[in-house]
Amino acid sequence: MATINAETLDNRERVQFFVKTPQGGLKQLPFELVTIDKDDQFYEPIDLTYLDENMRQRRGKLVGTVILEGEVELPRATNNIRDQFGVFEYHGI
């Protein structure tokens, strides 16, 4: 189990997801795959207006982007990470 503190929140890794639109563009999905302390992964909703008590935006570093074509299953954790996920339900684009 990952330790959740200021350091691990600042060092967490985030992967953004986009889907191809019928017009050939990209639309960002409202969640990211977050890895904390190289140990736990979960999907987290994106709130672009979020600011913490120190007026900082979302914490962590962006480490990747996934472009989905149509309705496909979301990526799962790699083998070296325990298969623990927190998932929220998402309807539509």
Q: What is the pLDDT of residues 34-52, one digit of tens each?
A: 888 877 888 888 877 777 7
Measure Cα distances from 34 to 22, 23, 24, 37, 48 in Å.
28, 29, 27, 10, 15
Contact by Cβ (8 Å): 37, 2 = yes
Q: Which residues of 28-45 are buried (b: 16+ CB within 10 A; e: fewer)?
A: ebebbbbbbbeebbbbbe
pLDDT at 8: 79
Tens-digit pLDDT profile for residues 11-34:
889 999 998 888 888 988 888 888
- d(C-alpha 74, C-alpha 65), whole Å: 13
56, 64, 66, 71: which is closest to 9 by C-alpha? 56
